[in-house]
Amino acid sequence: MNTASLAELRRALRNVPSGDLAELCIRLARYKKENKELLSYLLFEVDDEPEYIKGVIAEIDQHFRELTRTTPYMTKKGIRKALTFTNQKIRYSGQKRTEVELLIYFCKKFKKEISFRNNLTLKNIYLRQIQKIKKTLATLHEDLQFDFGDEVKKLE
Alpha carbons 136 and 145: distance in angstroms, whole number: 10
Same domain, 43 and 63: no
Question: Could you give the number of structural domains in the chain?
Answer: 2
User: How many residues comprise the chain?
Assistant: 156
In a domain, 87, yes or no: yes
| Residue 57 C-alpha from the chain's centroid | 10
In a domain, 145, yes or no: yes
C-alpha torsion angle, residues 81, 109, 102, 78 (rounded to 10): 0
pLDDT in tens, the chain (156 residues): 688 888 888 888 888 888 888 888 888 888 888 888 888 888 888 888 899 999 999 999 999 988 877 788 888 898 999 999 999 999 998 889 999 999 999 999 988 888 777 888 889 999 999 999 999 888 888 887 888 888 888 887
Q: pTM of this prediction? A: 0.84
Provide the 8-state DSSP code for 152.
H
In a domain, 1, yes or no: no
Same domain, 91 and 64: yes
Start-to-end C-alpha separation, the chain: 49
In a domain, 131, yes or no: yes
Alpha carbons 29 and 11: distance in angstroms, whole number: 21
Its domain, for residue 41, covers: 7-47
Beta-sheet strands, E only, within 12-53? none
Closest-CA residue to 63 (of 89, 45, 44): 89
In a domain, 86, yes or no: yes
